[in-house]
Amino acid sequence: MSPPRILLFAPANVARRAEGALAAAADAAILDLEDAVPPDEKAGARAALARLLGLPRAAGTARRYVRINAAGTPMCLADLQAALEAGADGIVLPKAEAADGLHAIGWAVRQICGALRRDPATVEILPIVETARGLLALPGLPWAAAGVARVALGTVDLMADLGTGASDAAAAILHAQRMCVAGSRAAGLAAPLDGVHLDVRDPQGAEAAMRQAAAIGFGGKLAIHPAQLAPLRAGLMPAAAELAWAQEVVAAYAAAGAAGSGAIVVAGRLVDEPVARRARDLLAMAGQA
């Protein structure tokens, strides 16, 4: 099964919104126990997971993830236990920034899944990098040992951690995005997920943000409202001209390879393996792999 590319947050303590996210056209719904839930409602939100994740699944509906509280908090283990007992398909881990926290979460997931007779390999652990410490440490953290295949970038918390003002937010986010993609690549991780687009009444902006993030190297995006899903999907699709180029390149490169050539010219431009790989990635993004 392909990893989810558009993931929709909803607070687990608000039944209407949580149920709506589970039924929405996202690739995965994330029931939130962390930032979206006030401190005095966290226990109730955790208790609601069993009912919410036990709701019948219709064909093609979203996978079901839970964002737990951070590894350094006293709520983390109870959140993780409740989420896995309720059948969560994935665990979203906020404030990922240190090896000890990652090792602890990976170990706990394996232990709890063993007790539940679940295969821990079927549970995605999706850390969110949202602090300066986490962003700088990203290339060297023990992701594979913790069972992590990719990360998400948490731009809202990161900007707060950096103390970035509104006038410089766009430049700071772009810099963080590039660092996240480069760090993920250096760590051997799959393409990361970009952070949320905050304006839920701005479909054009959401699509543009997704298109820019995909061009940087992100493989998907986090969402905060069902209205964002369609524009985000549109932003993930390569433009028609890009797809036509990719189709031509892949076909020509395959034919050249069969004839023993590793570099050719297509439409006046050199095509070798790195260019062909980019063309194949574009086709894969469009479901044409």
pLDDT of residue 35: 95
pLDDT of residue 52: 98
pLDDT of 62-95, one tens digit each? 899 999 999 999 999 999 999 999 999 999 999 9
pLDDT of 258-267, one tens digit each? 888 878 888 8
Token pair, residue 229, equals 């899903």
Residue boundaries of the structural domains of the chain: 6-236, 240-285
Stretch 209-228: mean pLDDT: 97
pLDDT of residue 231: 98
Q: Over 90: is that where the pLDDT of 285 sits?
A: no
pLDDT of 150-177, one tens digit each? 999 999 999 999 999 989 999 999 999 9
pLDDT of residue 146: 96
pLDDT of 35-69, one tens digit each? 999 999 999 999 999 999 999 987 777 899 999 99
Q: Over 80: is that where the pLDDT of 109 sits?
A: yes
pLDDT of 26-43, one tens digit each? 999 999 999 999 999 999
Stretch 266-284: mean pLDDT: 87
Confidence of residue 239 (pLDDT cuts 50, 70, 90): confident
Architecture of domain 6-236: Alpha-Beta Barrel (3.20)
Confidence of residue 98 (pLDDT cuts 50, 70, 90): very high
pLDDT of residue 57: 87
pLDDT of residue 62: 84
